Amino acid sequence: MTPLTTAPPYLIDEIALIDVLALFLSVGTVSILWNVLKKLFPDEVKDFQFFLTFIIVVVPFVMLVYFGLAVINYDAVATRSGWPEVLPFNGLLSPPLVGSAVFYIGQTVWLWWGWRKLRIAQ
């Protein structure tokens, strides 16, 4: 099979849809889990150790599931289309890892902002 020089529009749409879906599912899942934990454990959520455990354990796990599935989907599309594959990553500065790190930092800052408001209201 000869490699494609330009990608068909439906493949680009599929990749963009899966990536945006992974982004929204990740944010939605983390926000739902955080709100459930706030309702179930109102006093413990204000504790720094609880918050730190949440952002070190839960957030990366959720991101790993959703973004991992998105990368696997991209790799499958790339294989079918003759594009270069993403997996395995070529080092710590590969675009999917850098994007995930930036998203993790953003989501952590967003959670910290809400957690700080909880602490101040205490």
pLDDT, mean of residues 73-89: 78
Whole-number Å distance between alpha carbons of 63 and 54: 13
Residue 36 predicted with pLDDT over 80: yes
pLDDT, mean of residues 38-58: 94
Lowest mean pLDDT among 3-12, 42-51, 107-116: 3-12
Residues in Cβ contact with 66 at an 8 Å cutoff, skipping those fewer than 6 apart: 22, 23, 25, 26, 29
Q: Tell me what pLDDT residue 13 has.
A: 67
Domain ranges of the chain: 9-121
Residue scoring higher pLDDT (80 or 25): 25
* Prediction pTM value: 0.80
Residues in Cβ contact with 83 at an 8 Å cutoff, skipping those fewer than 6 apart: 3, 4, 7, 77
